[in-house]
Amino acid sequence: MQNSSNALTFCDITQSYAAKGGGVRTFLSEKRRFLLDRTDANHCLIVPGAEDRIHRDGRTTTIEIKSPHVIGSPNYRLLVRSQAVLRALDLVRPDLIECQDAYNLPWTALFYRKRHPTTAVVAGYHTDFPTVYVEKYLVPRAGRFTARQVKSLAYRYAVNLYKRFDGFYTLTQMAAEHFAHLGIKDAGILSLGADTTLFHKAQRSESLRQSIGVQDDAPLLIYAGRIDGEKKARLIVDAFRKLPPAWNTHLLMLGDGNERQTLIRECAGLNVHFPGFVDDREMLATYLASADIYVSAMENETFGISVIEAQAAGLPVVGVHAGAMIDRVPPSLGRLGPCGDAEAMASNISAIWMDRLSDIGNRARTHAIANFSWKSTFETLCFDIYDQAMRKRTSRKIVDFPLQSAKAS
């Protein structure tokens, strides 16, 4: 579509943007594609990078702001240069800003709105940081009681922050109810999606299986995500080691992270493969479709895009009974066990493999198609959450602008 003088400009600013993978990166890539394909809106992305850089391409602008690496993470950077973010916002003059984290950037967006009162600001709760980064960090260092007290303070901080926004959404009903209990009664719920056309069992490659040595009657397990302590990657390997040797099981660990090299050394001589980060989405779809079971030990998923993509590819899921996994994996589509229990995970993998003729993979794909689509995600975001936020600022409706072409198509 051609630019329109009346077209809206949406801007995303986030710390949670990794050069290699990540759920927020997938979300933002799909969002940009939706806006380009189905609307007349302009889109700007402000993220941390290795250097200051601006890239413009038609209706899209990507602004990278030089930022240091997060300690212990090869993929994420810490964007603390708020003045540089403000200069970037002054450059693109957005109608609406969305933030996907809870640190300095949301406050920067709020400061920009103070100077430009007609700009709406929306916050998305993509990471349960009081649990993932506060409680989990403090338990082994300060004890469970102190960790819970500080976690409670972190939630109070989050409520104080998000109440200031024109729009706020969570990714699950459970999270929305939690914030309602804390005082934010009108949180939206945004269900994320998967490209069910790309992620499909038709992408299965027998030659890929053969290339890594998987026998025709042997199971191939797969995990896709960061290979680090937060994602509990080591637990997956521990569960793999407990499977019957006679099965000749193979495990694919897709991704990068600070535990990858250590696990590669520890798994020498085993049927565990570490291809690294897979940036090609079609290749990722081929890897998933060529496997038999998706495994994840992550306890604090706020949504779990990788789980939905695996289900779209026709895979049953073995995970843990915590976080968003509870909603993503009903008993008919996989098995969830206790957190941190490699023995239980191995048992659940074995049960799913023994039940492989029950059509569980087809049920998983049917579930993904019926319940998760990016089109539905971004129509909800634009026409419900964004629309309400913009009305608070200007009394204007989204449908007054060329963005309405998305809903009409």
Q: What averages of pLDDT result for each successive group of 10 residues across the chain (409 residues)? A: 68 89 89 95 96 97 95 84 98 97 96 97 95 91 96 97 97 93 95 94 96 95 93 96 97 94 96 95 97 95 91 97 91 96 98 90 95 95 95 80 61
Region for 323 from its dihedrals, namely left if φ exceeds 0, alpha if ψ lies in -120 to 50, beta otherwise: left
Please state, in angstroms and rounded to a whole number, the distance separating the CA atoms of residues 162 and 150: 18
Cβ proximity of 294 and 310 under 8 Å: yes
**286: its two tokens:** 């081929």
**Beta-bridge mates of residue 62:** 45, 55
Q: Give the pairing type, strands 53-57 and 60-66.
A: antiparallel
**Beta-bridge mates of residue 87:** none
Q: What is the pLDDT of residue 3?
A: 43
3-class DSSP assignment, residue 53: strand
Q: Give the pairing type, strands 60-66 and 42-49.
A: parallel
Cβ proximity of 291 and 220 under 8 Å: yes
Collect all residues with Cβ–Cβ distance below 8 Å to 344 and sequence separation of at least 6.
337, 338
Nearest to 299 by CA among 278, 281, 325: 325
Q: What is the pLDDT of residue 405?
A: 60
Please state, in angstroms and rounded to a whole number, the distance separating the CA atoms of residues 400 and 248: 60
List Cα–Cα distances, 70 to 48, 76, 78, 79, in angstroms: 11, 6, 6, 9
Q: What is the pLDDT of residue 404?
A: 63
Q: What is the pLDDT of residue 179?
A: 97
Please state, in angstroms and rounded to a whole number, the distance separating the CA atoms of residues 224 and 241: 18
Q: What is the pLDDT of residue 70?
A: 87
CA angle 115, 118, 121 (to 5 degrees): 85
**134: its two tokens:** 């506060």
Specify the residue for token string 């090869």.
74
**210: its two tokens:** 């053969």
The pTM (predicted TM-score) of the whole model is 0.89
The domains found in the chain, sorted by start residue, are 9-193+373-408 (3.40.50.2000), 201-371 (3.40.50.2000)
3-class DSSP assignment, residue 306: helix
Please state, in angstroms and rounded to a whole number, the distance separating the CA atoms of residues 337 and 340: 9
Give residue 134's identity as a one-letter amino acid code. Answer: V
List Cα–Cα distances, 78 to 8, 81, 88, in angstroms: 29, 9, 17
Strands, E assignment, 167-315: 167-170, 188-189, 220-224, 250-254, 272-276, 293-295
* CB neighbour class for 384 (10 Å; exposed up to 12, middle 13-18, buried from 19): middle
Region for 58 from its dihedrals, namely left if φ exceeds 0, alpha if ψ lies in -120 to 50, beta otherwise: left
> Which run of H or of E encompasses 124?
strand 120-125
> Which run of H or of E encompasses 66?
strand 60-66
